[in-house]
Structures are given as C-alpha cells and as structure tokens.
A and B are shown apart, each in its own frame.
Chain A
Amino acid sequence: MCGIVGLYLKNPELESRIGELFKPMLIAMTDRGPDSAGFAIYGDEVGEGWIKLTLRHPETDYDWEALATRLKTEQQLELSWFQNASVAVFKVRAEEAALREWLAEEAPDVLILSVGQSIEILKEVGLPEKIAETFSLERMKGSHIIGHTRMATESAVTMEGSHPFSTGMDLCLVHNGSLSNHNRLRDTLKREGISFETQNDSEVAAGYLTWRLQKGDSLKEALEHALEDLDGFFTFTIGTRDGFAVMRDPIACKPAVLAETDDYVAMASEYQALTTLPGIENARVWEPEPATFYVWERSSN
C-alpha cells in the first residue's frame, strides 16, 4: 500500500515551519504504511565546493567525533558535523567520489543515506510518529520535503529498504506502487555505472532518474523517459535541489492528490494528509492525471 507525502514551499516565510507543517502529513499516512517511514528535507544548503552527507551506522553509540577527526587530520578536510539520533550530517569541503571511496575503505559500516548540497534523508523502521519524534521533525527548516510511510511488498522491512531512496546528488524519490521491470532495469543501470544498495524496486526508479540526469536530461526530460521505460504501478514524488515533481503511471491505480495555494504545493496519497495545512480550505485540490508529471522548480518561479 504505502503512503507518500510532499510539501514544496513557494513562500520562503514558511521555510522555518516546514517540519511543523509536514509532521502531521506524515503521521496521517500511518494507516497506509506502518512498517517504516522516512523523509528527505531540502535546506541548510552548503556552499560551492562543499558537500553534505547524511550518514548512518548500525551502532547507535558510534563515535562520529572520531570519524570527523580522522577526516580533518588524515585527509586535511574542512568539515562540520552534527548528530541527529541514529544519523550524522557531515558538511565537508571535498569531492564526492574521493570521499565515498575513503569512507568505503576506512569506515565500511557507515551507510551513506544521501549526498548533495541541500538534501538530508532520515528514515527508520517503525511507526511514522515515532520516526518524526526521533528526528525532531517539527523543528526542521527547509524549502521542500518529501516523505514515505511503508507497507512492505517487494523487499524486507529494514532501514535500508525504507524510503526515500537517493542514488545521486540531491535527488530523491518516494514511491507508492510496484515496478515490474526493476530487475532488468537494475542490471542495465549497473552497467551504466549506477550503484544500488538494496533489491528494492523504488531504488531502481531513483537510479533511473539519476542516470537520465547524468546524461544531461532536465528533470522534465528525465520524467518523460521514465514514463516510457518504467513498467508497473507507480505514483512518484521526486525531490531535487531546486525542484519538486509528481508523476503517475498510465493505469493510475495508486492514489494521489495535489493541492496548491500561493504559499505551497502539497502532495499526498490521500486528502486526509493535507487537512492540517494552512489555507487548505481554499486551495486548488485536484487528482493528478495518469501518465502525466507535474514539476515545480525554483528557477521557474
């Protein structure tokens, strides 16, 4: 089943309240996905030449300070970091590939949940409310956020199998549905140099979009290609550094509702998840069309 939700702010004055606005949206989708939950928030952007990583270690008392110290002393890297429950957010002045390589060698148990200039991904097994509390979602600030509540079908109930999935810089995807050609597509994408952490079908969709964007597609072009190449049932909500997109497959049996006001665009599997947003009574509320995508990007505002 699964529930997906997204909130893209058009009014920057609301950015300090995005977590508070989003938390009830995520919790409202508990009935659709009680196994695990997660969200990707965009904000607190790092400068040119810097990258931001969300890292996780299976041991809750992992010594992040020691990892940071090693990066500073052994690798001579400028960095700052903070811990949020089971994850740590590292902001490092470094190249992505080199840092990934070093982490794989020197800290192989550290899982990279996201890399980018803006994105942070936070996800865990458990009820959405617990996860929102664990990561103090209501205090978070940002420009856009997408979330997922999972009822597992295609792969195990683990933190790794939880959404959102990110397979490239600042790109993230949440999915309601199931893909039928993900195994073959995963093989194709692996040959194209995209790496995958799980057997999950949704990660393949994220990987596909990363691949298209690497090929030089705009987000809209990548989505056009995705409509041709992805087979199965899907409603996707996608985040990029500056953008937010919603797309449904041609059958459109997986639900989706969009709402737009002067202040925001909001997406949810069900209208119930939108009822706590300010001004929702007068928002334009509609069901996205089959085989159609909707894109909002900062540059086009």
Chain B
Amino acid sequence: MKTIDLAESSIRELNQALHDQAVECTEREWEVLNPKGQHNIACGLDQNLSVDIHGHAGYFCAGMNKKAHVVIHGNAGQGVAENMMSGTVRVKGDASQAAGATAHGGLLVIEGNAGARCGISMKGVDIVVKGSIGHMSCFMGQSGNLVVCGDAGDALGDSMYEVHIYVKGTVKSLGADCIEKEMRPEHIEELTELLNRAGLDEDPASFKRYGSARQLYNFKVDNAGAY
C-alpha cells in the first residue's frame, strides 16, 4: 500500500501519481492522509485502484472517476463523484450539495446525509444515501437510480427523465412532472440489488418509487398559440 500525506504533498502530486497508474499499474492500494478539506482530491482516476481518504474532503472529490474504488472516511464537500463514469465512491460521513452530479455510471454510496441537488442531471449512476437528501435532488435526472433511506427535501425529481427514485422516508414535495409510481416486482428486485451493493440492511418493500410523469418530454401542440 502506498501512502500520500497531503500535509507534505500537493493535490497535483497526488493526482498525478494516481493518473500514472492508468499507464502502468504498479500499486493497487492507496491511502491519503490529511485531506483537510482540500478540493479535487483523487479526481480523474482511470484504473482499478482502491483509494482510502482519511478525513474530510473538499469540493469535487473523486470527480470523473473511472474504475477506481474511493472511500472518504469523513465528510465530502460539493460535487463528490461528479461526472463519475464507473467504479465506486463511498462517503462515510455527510456529502454537501450536488453529490453525483451528471455522473454517467458507477455507484456512489453516502452513509450520512446528502445536501441539496443530490444527483442533479444524473446520467446513469446509481446513488444510495443511507440518510436524507436536500432540496431539488435529481433535478433533470436522466437515467440511473437514486435510493434514499431517509427523507427527501423539496422539489424531488423536478423535470426529470428516466431515473428510478426510491425513498423510504417522507418526501417534502415533488418537483414538476415527478410522481409516485407503483412498486412492481422488478423494482423490488432492482432495489434489493442496489441495497446489497451498497451494503445496507433495509427492507425494499418499505420504499416508495417516484419517477417522471413524462408530461414535459415533448412540446404540447396546444401551446403553439403562445408563439
């Protein structure tokens, strides 16, 4: 295992060392010490690495992740795992706003709570939150799954497309064009698998499903007169 102490090395040095593993992989296990809220830790990884960050991370931690497995043993700032392509990112504490924003793939697990706009414009990532999420989450979410074991804030799933949202607790309000939908056997199966992958012991039957009413997809010809 290789250890990089951010009290001694810069973020650029850390990220360069991790990027070099995409060319030739010499070390699979990495440990990052003293993150102290710095931004852009372990961004742009492109190799099957395991990275443990011990402490709180700043903005965009594990952004653009591909293949790597990143664990933040603390809280994460804005935009954790934003634009992730594959791999996993696990936050042991809370995450700030825009967690998993625009992410295309992989699994993001937040063991605490996530702030506002969790999964905004998500494009295929699976996000599992053990706690609650803030307002405007899954805004314009296109595909993937968002699982929330706690509560959801205002305007959940506003203007969303085809994300499957599962919430166990209460939803403060639904956004435009987001509705509650029936939990069919295939959804129970999907949710069971997501909870298993996230390592959470929750009863899938206690969740409700939300999705798009698909009323905002196309231009309504009745509105043509407005132009």
Contact = CB atoms under 8 A, between A and B. Distances in A.
Contact of A271 (B77, B97, B115, B135): B77
Nearest to B135: A290
Given A255-B78, A286-B94, A271 B116 contact: no
B37 A274 contact: yes
Contacts of B115: 252, 287
A149 to B, nearest CB: 16
A272 B59 CA distance: 10
Contacts of B83: none
Given A287-B115, A290-B135, A275 B37 contact: yes
Given A290-B116, A290-B135, A255 B37 contact: no
Interface string B78-99: 1000000000000000101100
B142 to A, nearest CB: 22
A255 B115 CA distance: 11
Contacts of B59: 270
B28 interface: no
B75 interface: yes
A67 interface: no
A79 interface: no
B37 A287 contact: no
Nearest to A250: B135
B97 A270 contact: no
Given A270-B77, A274-B37, A285 B116 contact: no
B56 A285 contact: yes
B32 to A, nearest CB: 15
Contacts of B38: 272
- Which of A271, A272, A285, A286 gathers most chain B CB within 10 Å? A271
A253 interface: yes
Interface string B103-135: 000000000000110000000000000000011
A259 to B, nearest CB: 10
B36 A290 contact: no
Interface residues of B, number: 16
Interface string B19-50: 00000000000000000111000000000000
B58 A271 contact: yes
Contacts of A255: 77-78, 96
A286 B36 CA distance: 15
Contacts of A274: 37
Nearest to B112: A286
A146 B94 CA distance: 26
- Which of A270, A286, A287 gathers most chain B CB within 10 Å? A287
Nearest to A286: B94
A285 B75 CA distance: 9
- Which of B36, B38, B94, B134 gathers most chain A CB within 10 Å? B36
Contacts of A285: 56, 75
A290 B116 CA distance: 9
A271 B134 contact: no
A107 B37 CA distance: 47
A272 B37 contact: yes
Interface in A267-301: 270-275, 285-287, 289-290
Contacts of B116: 252-253, 290
A253 B97 contact: yes
Interface of A: 250, 252-253, 255, 270-275, 285-287, 289-290
Minimum-distance CB pairs A-B, first 4 = A271-B37, A272-B37, A275-B36, A271-B56
Given A271-B77, A274-B37, 20 more contacts: A250-B135, A252-B97, A252-B134, A252-B135, A255-B78, A270-B58, A270-B59, A270-B77, A271-B36, A271-B58, A272-B36, A272-B37, A273-B37, A275-B37, A285-B56, A285-B75, A287-B97, A289-B134, A290-B116, A290-B134
6 contacts: A252-B115, A253-B116, A271-B56, A272-B36, A287-B94, A289-B134
